[in-house]
Structure 1
Amino acid sequence: MSEEFKNAILAGLYDSKYAPKLEGPAPKLLTNQPTETLWSHLQQELLTCDHFVLAPAFLTVDMLVPLKAILARIAKKGVTGTILTADYLNFNTPAVFTELLKLPNVKTKIVTKEAFHMKGYFFWHGSQQTAYVGSANFTRNALLKNCELTLRVTSEEQADLTQQLALILKHLAEDALTLTTDWIKAYQARYRPPVSTAAPKNNKLLPNRMQKEALQQLANLRAQGNTKGLVVSATGTGKTYLGAFDVKAYAPKRFLYIVHREQILEKTKASFQKVIGGPASDFGTYSGKKHETKAKYLFATVQSLAKDEALEQFLPTEFDYILFDEAHHLGAPIFQKVMAHFSPAFCLGMTATPERMDDFNVYRSFDYNLAYEISLDEALTTELLCPFDYVGVIDYEFEGEMITEKTPLKQLTAPERVTHILKQLEYYGSTKSRGGLVFCSRQQEAKALAKAFTAAGYPSQALTNEDSVIKREEAVARLESGVLKYLISVDIFNEGIDIPCVDQIILLRDTRSKIVFTQQLGRGLRLFPGKTSTLILDFIGNYQNNYLIPQALTNDRSLNKDRLVADLKEQVVYGLSTINFDEIAYQKILAVIARTKLDSLKHLKEAYLELSQKLGRIPMRRDFYRNSQLDPRIFTQGNTLVSYADFLDKLGVSQELSRYATQVIAFLEKELMNGMRKHELLLLQQLLLAEITQEDYRKLLAKAGCYVNDEVLASVNSILSLRFFEVKAGKKLRSETYGAKPLITFEQGKYRLNTAFSMALSQLAFRQHVEDIIETGLLLSKEYQPQKRFTLYQKYTRKDVCRLLDWPKDISAPLYGYRVVDDVCPIFITYQKEKKSYQNTLTADCAIRWYTRSPRSLASKEVTELLAGVKTGTPYVKLPLFIKPSDAFGAEFYYVGEAKIIAESVHEVELGAKNKPKKAVAMDLLFEQPLSFEIMEKLQGFSADSED
C-alpha cells in the first residue's frame, strides 16, 4: 500500500492532520445532492469496475431501467456481477424478480437468511475494493432524492476489512438460492403486497403549487385592467384544472371553453364540473350533434362553433369569460374567425408549446400578457409530472447502413429491424407496463409494425390521420383496458390526447424539432395511480438532427457546443428522472454535435424570432438571459459576428449606429459582458451618470462585495484605456475592431468618460446598447464570486486569465501551457490531449501528473522559479490551475483552484520520439481541495469506455 493511500485512510478514520494527498481512497459520507446523487456514484463505479456485488434488500422495478442501460454497456467489456436480495416483508414484487432475470451479465441470488435487510454495494477495481454501506435501498427515491447516509470506504485486497467483507458475501451467496422462473412462480403464488400505512388521501380538489401561483398571477393581471392572459405550462401539469379553478374564482355569468379536438371535450367538461360544482344542466356541449346553446358553462369544438349558423346564435358579448385550450392553434383561420366574433370581458389562452414552427405569434393574440409559465424541467423537479427513464439505443443497421431519414420503407419494416426493436422492448420494458405509444416516421410503417408487433405477442394497433375520431377513441379505450399493448402512429398523438396510464414512449423516427420531441415525451408523463416512472426508448439512427435530443432533454438553449456536450456527459436531468445512452448511440450524437454549427445565423435567428414573438419587441441581451432563451455571450463567440448589434444589422434591423459606436459595442460585449469581473462594468455604469473619484470608486467596489487593491485598479485603467490589448497585432485590432480611443480618462484622482465615448452616447440606440451590455454583464456576474479573481469550476480563456491576474498586457498568444510572472504561474492543462508523448494523469480527485515544456531540466530558469520554496514547504509562486477535457472543448478551461507541487514527485523525464527524446520535468500538482464529482465527470468524459 502506498504512503498516500495510508494517509488517506488515517486522515479519514484516525486524525485529519495526516492531510491526505489522495482524497479518493479516503472514507467519505455521501448524501443525495442536486448535482451528485448516490446513483451517480454507483453508476460510475459500475462503468469502471472489474466485478461487482449489489446487495440491497429492497428494489423497485422503475430503478432497474437505468441499471439495465449500464449493464448492457459493461456486458460488452465482459464485466459480470452478482445481486443479493430477498423476499423480506414482501417488499420486492414478483415483477422485480422477473426483471432481474433478464440481466445478461448478472447472477441474482435470493438470500435465505431470515430478515435480510442489507443495503450495500461493492465494487472491485484491480487490487482495490470500494464499498458503499448505509441506509439506501435500490429504489428511485433512495438513490436520487431521499435524505440517505452512505459511507464509502476503499481498501486493498490484503486489508482485514476486505477479507471480512469477502467472507460475509461468500457465506450469503453459498446459502442463497439462484433466481429461476420456478422460484418466481412460487413467490407469485404466496406473494401478498405489504399493507400500506399511509394516511387516506383527502379527495377534495385543491390547487397544486403551480396552480396556486398561476391563479394569483391571473388575479394580478386582471387587477391591472388586462382583458387577456396566457398560461404556458408543460403537458400533464394540470392546465385543465387550473382553468376550472380560475373560472370558479372569476364567477362569470357565462363561460365558453374552445378546443380543436373533440375527444377531450367530455373529459374537460367533467373536470370543470368537479371543481365548480352545481347542477349538471349548467354544463353543456357544442360539438357534433350536441348543440346545448343555453348552458352556463359551454364546451365547444372550434369546428362546430365557427360555422356561420353557430356564431349567429351568440352575441359578441354572450360570454364574459372565454378559454382557448391549446392556444398555439389560434393562427388557423377557423380560430381567428371565432376570436374575431366574440368580445369577452376576459380571455385566457393555455398551451404547453407556444413556440411554433410556423410564423404565428400566440403571445400577440393575448397582448403579450404571459401570466404564468412552468417548463417541463420545472414540472419534473417539483414532481408535478411522472419521472422518466430515457434510454437512447442505436437503431438497426441494415446491410452495413444505419437507419436514416431516407431509408426505404421495406428496411424500416424488415423482420430483422422488428426483431431488434422487440428485443430492446423486452429488455427495457416491464411486465407491469400498462401500455405504450409508438411514434414512427411513415403511415405504412405504422401499419406494418402493428401487424408485426401483434404477431410477436404484443397486441398493437396502428392509427393514422385517416382514422376517424371514434376509431381513435375506441383504440385508446382498448389500450387503457389492457386489450392492446401499443398504439403505433406517426404524429397524431403529439397533442390533444390524454392517456395517463401510458408508461412507455417508443421513438422510431428522427427528432425533427424540440417541440415535437417534447410533445411526444409529454404523452407519457401524466401522473397515474401505481405509475412510478415512464420508459422513453429512443432508437437513434444516422439522423442530421440528433443534436436536438440533448437540447430537448436538458432544456439547453445556449447554442454552445461545449455546454451541450457537457450536459450530455453529465446526463443533466431534473427531479427523479434518468438519462442513459448506449455507447454507439452516444457517439452518433457527439458526431452530429461536432459537425453542426449550433451558433449559425440560422439558429440564432430562430432563437431571436422566438423571443421577439414572446416579448412583442426587439429583444435585448438581458432578455435572452432572463428568459433562458440562449446565452447572450453567444453573439461574440463565433467567427461570423462581433456583437449583438452586428447580428441585428445582419437581420436588417435599423439601428443608425456610427462606425465608432459599433466598435465600442464590440469591445464592451466581447471583453466585459462576460461578467467575470464586475469592476469595469460598475465604473462604466457610474460614469453614465457622473464622474467619480477613485476614493468613491473604491467604496463602490467594496459595497458591491468586490476585491479592491492598487493592482486591480491599474488593470481596470489598462482595460478601459485599451492599453491591455497593445501586443503584436493588438494596435491594429484596437483601431479596426474596438476603436482607437480610450473609453475613460483618469486624471487628478477622477474617472471621466472620454470625449468621443461621451458624445457617442447622445445616440439613443448606442446608449441603449451600452446600458444593455452593462446590465447583462452584471446579471452574468452572479455566476462568479466578486471577492475572488477566479471562481471554482467556472470556465476561462487564457486572455481572461491575463486580465483577471491584473497583468498590464494580453500575453495569451505566447502563454501556451504556463507562464511564470513574478509570484504567479497560471497552468493550463488539456487532460485528454491528442498526439502527445505523455499523459496528464489524474490521481483520484486531488492530484494530477504534469509536465513542463521541453527541452527543460531542473536547472532551467523557469523550473527553478516554479520550485522556489517547494522543498521547504513555503512555495514562492502561486499556481492557479485550469483544466479542460480535450482540444475539442474549445478555448475555455475549468478553474480547479490553486495547486501545490508535491516536492518528492519532481523529476526529469525524456519525452518525444525514441530517436529524438527531449528533456522535461514531471511533477505532481496537488489541488487545494479535491475535485468535485461533477467536475471529475466533465474532465474524464462520459464514461470509462467513451472514445470522445
Structure 2
Amino acid sequence: MENAIDDLKYSLHKGFIDRSIVHQGHHVPKLLINNAEENVLSTVIDELQKCQSFMISVAFITESGLASLKAHLYDLAQKGVKGKILTSNYLGFNTPKMYEELLKLKNVEVRLTEVPGFHAKGYIFEHDQFSSLIVGSSNLTSNALKVNYEHNILFSTHQNGDLVHRVKHQFTDLWEQSTPLTPDWIAHYREVYQPQAVQRVFEDSRLQTDLINRVDDATQIEPNLMQVEALQSLSNVRARGEDRALIISATGTGKTIMSALDVRQAEPERFLFVVHSETILNDAMRAYQKVLATEPASAFGKLSGQHKDMDAKYLFATVQTLSKAHIYSQFDPASFDYIVFDEAHRSAADTYQRIFHYFKPQFMLGMTATPERTDDLNIFEQFNYNVAYEIRLQKALESEILCPFHYFGVSDYVQDGMVVDDNSQLRYLTSDERVKYILDRTRYYGYSGDVLKGLIFVSRKHEAVELAEKLTQQGIATTALTGSDSQQRRNTVIQQLKDGEINYIITVDLFNEGIDIPEINQVVMLRGTQSSIIFVQQLGRGLRKSPNKDYVTVIDFIGNYKNNYLIPIALSGDHSHNKDNYRKFLTDNAPLRGVSTINFEEVAKKKVFESIQSATLNEMKMIVEAYQNVKNRIGRTPTLMDFIEQNSLDPDVLLSKFANYEIFLEKKAQVTPRISESASKNLTFMSKELAQGLKS
C-alpha cells in the first residue's frame, strides 16, 4: 500500500512539479497524441486490459471506433470485467446501427443522456488501489483514436483522491438521469434519425480524407497518391530510354486506372491489354473507356473466345485466345506501341511467354500485387529490373488509398476438447455446433453498412457447398462457388452479392486474385494460412473502397494450424523471419498506422504465439528462397545489407546457420570462393560482432 502511494506521489511530482527528477514509476502523467510513433487507441487498450472495471463518457461513437475495441471487450467479458458507456445524440452523429453494435457487448451497460450540448470525452479505468483517467479531445471514433490531431491527458489518482471522487460522482449522477439503451429505443431512434446532420458537420473532413478516384461529368479522373507517383516514375523510365517496367501495387490501389492514365499520357498509336480472364477484361475495358473518354466506342475492342475485334485501337485480349499461334501471327510483331500485362506474376506460363516474346512494342508494362514466385521465372529480369513503383498493403493503408479494415483473430470452435486443425474431418468442419459458433462470432464483429456482403474462404470444395447450405438454412443467404462453376454462373452469383440478394459467397481459392467486388464488407477465413501471399490476397478482396462501407471486417478463425506463425508475417509485411519481431507485433496494441486495427482474442493470440515458438524459421529452404528472391529483384549477388533494404531475411537468421555470409554463398549459392581462409575467419568474427549493427 505504501509503495503504491509513494509511486503515485513521485509520479505526480515528476509530471506536475519537477520534470528533472529521476522516476520510472507506473503513474507518471502522459500526453496522449496520434502520430507515427504512438496513438491514443494503444493506451486505451492497455488500460482496458489491466482494469477491474471501466466507465466511458463520450459524445460521439462510430462503428469503426467501437470495432477497434470489440476483441478486447470480449476478452474482458470472459474474465467477468464489466463497464459502462454514457453517450448522447448530440448533433445527430451516432447512427442507429452503431447503437445496435453497442447492444452486442454483453459486459457493457449503455445509457444515453439528454443533457443539452453533451460533449464529454472521458475514460475512467478502475484498478486495485487507484484509478486511471484519460481526459481530452478524443471521442470513441477511429479517427480520434488513431489519426486526428488530438490532445488527451492520462493520469492516475489514488482511490481515495478528491479528483477521481468528483469525476466518478459526476458520471454516476448523470448516469442515473440517463436512459438505458434498448432495442425499442433504437427502433424509435431509427424512425427519427436524419443522417444529413452528420454529413453537414463532417463534410469538410470527408472531402480531405476521401481518396477514392472521382469521375466528374467530364469523365476526368483524378489520380490517387499511388497513381500520381507511379505515373511520374513511368514517365521517367521512358525518358531514360527504357522499353519496359514493372508496377508492384497492392490489390485495390488502382493499378488498372493508373495504367490507363499512363496510356493517356503516352498516346500510343495502338495499345494491347493482356489479361487472364474475361471478367477482368470487361472491367479493364470499362476503366479505360472512362479515362480515354474522348475516344469513340469503336476504338475499343475485345479479343476472346467470342470476340475478335482485331483492328481495334485499344485491344483487350485474354491470354487464352491471344496465345494461340493462328491468332497472334495475324498481327505484325510491332503492331502495338504499348502493351500491358495484367497479373504479370503469371507470365511464367507458356501462354504468356509466347505473347511476351512475339510482340515488340515500344513500351511494355507489367502489373502485379505479388511478384514473388516459386518457379524458375524471374519476373524482375523479364522487365529489366525496372520497378517503376511499388506500394504494398501497409503503405497503401497508411496512404488511405485502400478501405480501412479491422482484423479479428478469433479462436475456432472447440468440441470435446478438440480444436480445428489441418486434419479435421469434413463432418466436424460443417457440424451444426460449429456453424452456430461461426454465426455467433461473425454477428458479434459485424460489418460496416446496412447489408452484409461477405466472402468466406474455406479449405475444401465439399466444405464450401455444405456450409453454404447450412448458413442458408439459418436465414443467411449463401452460395458456394468453386473452380467447376462456369464463368456465367460466377458472374451471376457475384452480381447477386453486389445487389444484396445473397449475403455470402463461399469459395476455396477461386477469389484469391483477379476478382473485383468493392462492395464486400466482411471477409471470413475458415482455413489455415498456407502462405503469407495468399493471406494478403484473400484479405485484399475487401479492401477496395465502396460507398456502401466505411471499413471492412476481417474475421480469421484460428485453429491449431502449424502455419499460424504466417499470420503476423502477412499482416506486418515483415519477412525477416525474426521471431522477436513477430512476438512484438502481436503484443503491440496498434501496430498499423491509419484507422485500420489488428485484434486478437486472447485464446487465439496464444495459438499464434505457440506456432511462432514451435516454427523453425531458419530452415535452409527458407534461407535459400529468401536469397533467391533478393537476387532476382536486384539482378546480382546480394550483400547482407541488401536483405535489410529489400525487407527480406534478417541477417541474424542466416548467420545462425553459417559462420559468415561468404560460406553460405559458397555452399548454397554456387558462388566461387572470393576470400582466403584467414579472411574468412576474420569475417566470421566480424559477423558475430557487427551483424546487429546492420539493422540500426
**Structure 1: gaps spanning 5 or more residues:** 676-776, 784-948
Residue pair 2:33, 2:40 contacting (<8 A) in 1 also: yes
Q: Compute the displacement of 1:551 (Å).
A: 0.6
Aligned to 1:650: 667
Distance across 1 between alignment mates of 2:654 and 2:348 = 31
Q: Compute the displacement of 1:22 (Å).
A: 5.2
Matching residue's letter, 1:594: Q
Aligned to 1:634: 653
Q: Which of 429, 432, 455 does residue 415 from structure 1 map onto? A: 432
Residue pair 1:433, 1:504 contacting (<8 A) in 2 also: no
Matching residue's letter, 1:459: A
Aligned to 1:547: 565
Distance across 1 between alignment mates of 2:495 and 2:464 = 19
Distance across 2 between alignment mates of 1:339 and 1:321 = 12
Residue pair 2:68, 2:142 contacting (<8 A) in 1 also: no
- After the TM superposition, which residues 926-945 of structure 1 pair with which residues of structure 2 at under 5 Å, given as runs? none
- After the TM superposition, which residues 288-437 of structure 1 pair with which residues of structure 2 at under 5 Å, given as runs? 288-430=305-447, 432-437=450-455
Q: Compute the displacement of 1:434 (Å).
A: 4.1
After TM superposition, the structure 1 stretch with the greater mean CA deviation from structure 2, 279-288 or 250-259, is: 279-288
Q: Compute the displacement of 1:425 (Å).
A: 0.6
- Aligned CA distance change for structure 1 residues 122 and 254 (closer, same or farther; 3 Å): same
Residue pair 2:215, 2:222 contacting (<8 A) in 1 also: no
Q: Which of 252, 255, 263 does residue 236 from structure 1 map onto? A: 252
Aligned to 1:453: 471
Residue pair 2:122, 2:134 contacting (<8 A) in 1 also: yes
DSSP 3-state at the match of 1:187:
helix
Q: How far does the alpha carbon of each residue in 1:203-226 deviate from its partner, in whole angstroms, 9 at most, with x for none?
A: 331222211221122122122221
Aligned to 1:487: 505
Q: Which of 591, 608, 618 does residue 589 from structure 1 map onto? A: 608
Q: Compute the displacement of 1:238 (Å).
A: 0.9
Residue pair 1:4, 1:20 contacting (<8 A) in 2 also: no
Q: Compute the displacement of 1:667 (Å).
A: 1.9
- After the TM superposition, which residues 244-323 of structure 1 pair with which residues of structure 2 at under 5 Å, given as runs? 244-277=260-293, 278-323=295-340
Residue pair 2:519, 2:548 contacting (<8 A) in 1 also: no
DSSP 3-state at the match of 2:196:
coil
Q: Compute the displacement of 1:404 (Å).
A: 1.2
Q: Compute the displacement of 1:500 (Å).
A: 0.8
Q: Compute the displacement of 1:138 (Å).
A: 0.4
Matching residue's letter, 1:593: I
Q: How far does the alpha carbon of each residue in 1:495-534 deviate from its partner, in whole angstroms, 9 at most, with x for none?
A: 0000111111100011000110010011111111252211
Q: Compute the displacement of 1:273 (Å).
A: 1.6
Q: How many percent of aligned residue pairs carry the same amino acid?
A: 43
Aligned to 2:491: 473
Q: So what's the TM-score if we normalise by structure 2?
A: 0.94
The two structures, once aligned, show a CA RMSD in angstroms of 1.7
- After the TM superposition, which residues 853-932 of structure 1 pair with which residues of structure 2 at under 5 Å, given as runs? none
Residue pair 2:524, 2:554 contacting (<8 A) in 1 also: yes
Which has more radius of gyration? 1
- After the TM superposition, which residues 606-621 of structure 1 pair with which residues of structure 2 at under 5 Å, given as runs? 606-621=625-640
Distance across 2 between alignment mates of 1:401 and 1:131 = 42
**Structure 2: gaps spanning 5 or more residues:** 208-213
- Aligned CA distance change for structure 1 residues 11 and 583 (closer, same or farther; 3 Å): closer
DSSP 3-state at the match of 1:290:
coil
Q: So what's the TM-score if we normalise by structure 1?
A: 0.69
Q: Compute the displacement of 1:673 (Å).
A: 4.1
Q: Which of 28, 34, 49 does residue 30 from structure 2 map onto? A: 28
Aligned to 2:518: 500
Residue pair 2:10, 2:25 contacting (<8 A) in 1 also: no
Distance across 1 between alignment mates of 2:267 and 2:252 = 25
Counterpart check, 1:91 vs 2:93 = yes
After TM superposition, the structure 1 stretch with the greater mean CA deviation from structure 2, 283-292 or 78-87, is: 283-292
Matching residue's letter, 1:670: K
DSSP 3-state at the match of 1:235:
coil
Matching residue's letter, 2:330: Q
Residue pair 2:479, 2:504 contacting (<8 A) in 1 also: yes
Distance across 2 between alignment mates of 1:598 and 1:44 = 30
Q: How far does the alpha carbon of each residue in 1:68-105 deviate from its partner, in whole angstroms, 9 at most, with x for none?
A: 10011111111000010112221000001000001010
- Aligned CA distance change for structure 1 residues 623 and 652 (closer, same or farther; 3 Å): closer
Q: How far does the alpha carbon of each residue in 1:133-156 deviate from its partner, in whole angstroms, 9 at most, with x for none?
A: 111110000000100111222111
Matching residue's letter, 1:413: T
Distance across 2 between alignment mates of 1:611 and 1:77 = 47
Residue pair 1:397, 1:403 contacting (<8 A) in 2 also: yes
Q: Which of 72, 82, 99 does residue 84 from structure 2 map onto? A: 82
Residue pair 2:528, 2:559 contacting (<8 A) in 1 also: yes
Q: Which of 6, 10, 16 does residue 9 from structure 2 map onto? A: 6
Distance across 2 between alignment mates of 1:626 and 1:508 = 35
Residue pair 2:651, 2:691 contacting (<8 A) in 1 also: no
Aligned to 2:542: 524
Higher relative contact order (CA 8 A, sep 6+): 2
Aligned to 2:238: 222
- After the TM superposition, which residues 673-752 of structure 1 pair with which residues of structure 2 at under 5 Å, given as runs? 673-675=691-693
Aligned to 2:124: 122
Residue pair 1:260, 1:303 contacting (<8 A) in 2 also: yes
Q: Compute the displacement of 1:23 (Å).
A: 4.7
Counterpart check, 1:16 vs 2:32 = no
DSSP 3-state at the match of 2:560:
coil
Q: Compute the displacement of 1:334 (Å).
A: 1.1
Residue pair 1:7, 1:18 contacting (<8 A) in 2 also: no
